[in-house]
A and B are shown apart, each in its own frame.
Chain A
Amino acid sequence: EIVLTQSPGTLSLSPGERATLSCRASQSVSSSSLAWYQQKPGQAPRLLIYVASSRATGIPDRFSGSGSGTDFTLTISRLEPEDFAVYYCQQYGGFPWTFGQGTKVEIK
């Protein structure tokens, strides 16, 4: 099983600042089969990024993904008020599919 470790657990930032979220895999994720999701309280997770760096339909270009192998990053270039949420990474390159434990981006 591929274990995904996200850091930091909580990121305290102000609107307009840059957010950098990390997702590290215990073994290489094949074909960069990694996605990022955003979840707000009471809502379903929303796909942001797939195959490590492709933005999903309708996702603003302030969200970007990068990385390969075991190290992946989600960057939010300038935080908007609606971006404060929990972010999860997920790998689907090997079974079982697994998720990171999440990074909470909170208002400082």
Chain B
Amino acid sequence: QVQLQESGPGLVKPSETLSLTCTVSGGSISGYYWSWIRRPPGKGLEWIGYIYYSGNTNYNPSLKSRVTMSVDTSKNQFSLRLSSVTAADTAVYYCARSHSSRSHLDPWGQGTLVTVSS
């Protein structure tokens, strides 16, 4: 079955750019929508946005000015960049798959904790 695994630095300095990659195994990245979601400590889940395998994107307006997503079909990976981070961006970041632009999220990656601190 399809599995997702997030990777990237666990510590990012304030004002710098957070960069994460999600590697898809057990299936193709083609034909699906790929989302990033985060959960700050003690808070609920926040959808950051998605990228279609062709490269089309849809971002949460609350983060749109700082978010860039990209996809590399040759590596079966997609990525998230979040610029100008602050302590409020400290969270567990998850990647997940959807079958369409209006569909549930399944499966999810295990998540990776990113801490923003100097």
Interface string of A16-44 (1 = CB under 8 A from B): 00000000000000010101010000011
Is B110 within 8 A of A44, CB to CB? yes
Bound-state Cα–Cα, A46 to B35, Å: 15
Q: Which of B41-59 contact A (CB under 8 A)?
A: 43-47, 49, 58
The number of residues on chain B lying at the interface, defined by a beta carbon within 8 Å of a beta carbon of chain A, is: 23
Is A44 within 8 A of B44, CB to CB? no
Centre residue among B44, B61, B62, B110 by max chain A CB count within 10 A = B44
Bound-state Cα–Cα, A90 to B45, Å: 9
Q: Which of B98-118 contact A (CB under 8 A)?
A: 98, 102-111
Is B104 within 8 A of A44, CB to CB? no
Return the chain B residue nearest A34 by Cβ: B104
Which one, A1, A31, A99, contacts B44 given CB within 8 A? A99
Is A90 within 8 A of B105, CB to CB? yes
Q: A93 at the A/B interface (Cβ < 8 Å)?
A: yes
| Contacts A44-B94, A44-B111, A45-B94 given; does A96 touch B106 at CB 8 Å | no
Bound-state Cα–Cα, A6 to B46, Å: 15
Is B62 within 8 A of A93, CB to CB? no
Q: Which of B63-112 contact A (CB under 8 A)?
A: 94, 98, 102-111
Cβ of A74 to closest chain B Cβ, rounded Å:
14
Is A97 within 8 A of B47, CB to CB? yes
Q: A107 at the A/B interface (Cβ < 8 Å)?
A: no
Bound-state Cα–Cα, A96 to B101, Å: 11
20 CB contacts below 8 A, A to B, read A31-B102, A33-B102, A37-B105, A44-B94, A44-B110, A46-B108, A56-B106, A88-B44, A90-B47, A92-B104, A92-B105, A95-B58, A96-B47, A96-B49, A96-B60, A97-B60, A98-B47, A99-B47, A100-B44, A101-B43
